[in-house]
């Protein structure tokens, strides 16, 4: 069964304090790994898609990387507006379609 | 361009009643998905439409849930009769084939 585990569950940072969020996955053939951001009371907002080990993508203070077993979301010099829940999800080759399997997310709080 | 829109945003109903949630996908998106997050759990897949056809309904919990997408445009998800464990956030999402999946803001359902 496809599975996604995110750690830590919650992370508190000071503004400017860089850190990384982890997403470990087991999937029978990875089609794609996705990072979403979710603000309270809102739906998931797409950030990145990674397709193969070694791939990296960046957007402002965020950088996502992918290995064969995990992905990291690196946050460089975070600001309070980066506070949100970050969700990781995978698509498996064997689903045939586009079903996403989500982790439970990492709640990030950045204090000024 | 309008995103995925969902209605109602919040709903409180009594156990045994019926609730119908509506989703309007992004214009031109043939793929439409329903997901659900119950308290403390990860977001889970319910089903996937391509136009008006159900491609994958493996995540539907039981026969109290009925999803339709007449005409391949908007979709409805009916819960009848609602049970306490159906409380949660119901997300609709849409995409082009093989492309990024975009989520709506969610419909928050409370069954009392």
Name which of A101, A104, A108, A107 is nearest A34 in CA terms: A101
- What is the rounded average pLDDT for all residues in chain B? 95
Banded pLDDT at A96 (limits 50, 70, 90): low
Banded pLDDT at A111 (limits 50, 70, 90): very high
Number of neighbouring beta carbons within 10 Å of residue B33: 28
Number of neighbouring beta carbons within 10 Å of residue B60: 18
Chain B positions contacting chain A at CB under 8 Å are 4, 31, 33, 35, 41-45, 48, 50, 55-56, 58-59, 91, 93, 95, 98, 100-106
Q: What is the pLDDT of residues B81-102, one digit of tens each?
A: 999 999 999 999 999 987 899 9
Let me know if A42 is exposed, middle or buried by CB neighbors in 10 A (0-12, 13-18, 19+).
Answer: middle
Let me know if A59 is exposed, middle or buried by CB neighbors in 10 A (0-12, 13-18, 19+).
Answer: exposed
Q: Tell me, what's the pLDDT at A58?
A: 97
Give percent above pLDDT 90 in chain B.
90
pLDDT, greater one: A81 or B99: A81
């Amino acid at each position: 069964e496809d599975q996604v585990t995110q750690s830590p569950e919650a992370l508190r940072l000071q503004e400017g304090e860089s850190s990384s969020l982890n997403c470990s996955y087991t999937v029978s053939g990875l089609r794609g790994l996705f990072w979403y951001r979710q603000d309270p009371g809102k739906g998931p907002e797409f950030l990145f898609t990674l397709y193969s080990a070694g791939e990296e993508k960046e957007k402002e203070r965020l950088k996502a990387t992918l290995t064969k077993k995990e992905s990291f979301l690196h946050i460089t010099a975070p600001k309070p507006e980066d506070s949100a829940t970050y969700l990781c999800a995978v698509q498996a080759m064997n689903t045939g379609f586009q079903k996403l399997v989500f982790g439970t997310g990492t709640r990030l709080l950045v204090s000024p | 361009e309008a995103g995925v829109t969902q209605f109602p945003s919040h709903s409180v109903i009594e156990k045994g009643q019926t609730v119908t949630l509506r989703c309007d996908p992004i214009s031109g998106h043939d793929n439409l998905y329903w997901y659900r997050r119950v308290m403390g759990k990860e977001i889970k897949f319910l089903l996937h439409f391509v136009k008006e056809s159900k491609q994958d309904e493996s995540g539907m919990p039981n026969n109290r849930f009925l999803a339709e997408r007449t005409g391949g445009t908007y979709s409805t998800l009916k819960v009848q009769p609602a049970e306490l464990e159906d409380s949660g956030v119901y997300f609709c999402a849409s995409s082009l084939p093989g492309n990024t999946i975009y989520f709506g803001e969610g419909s928050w359902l409370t069954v009392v």
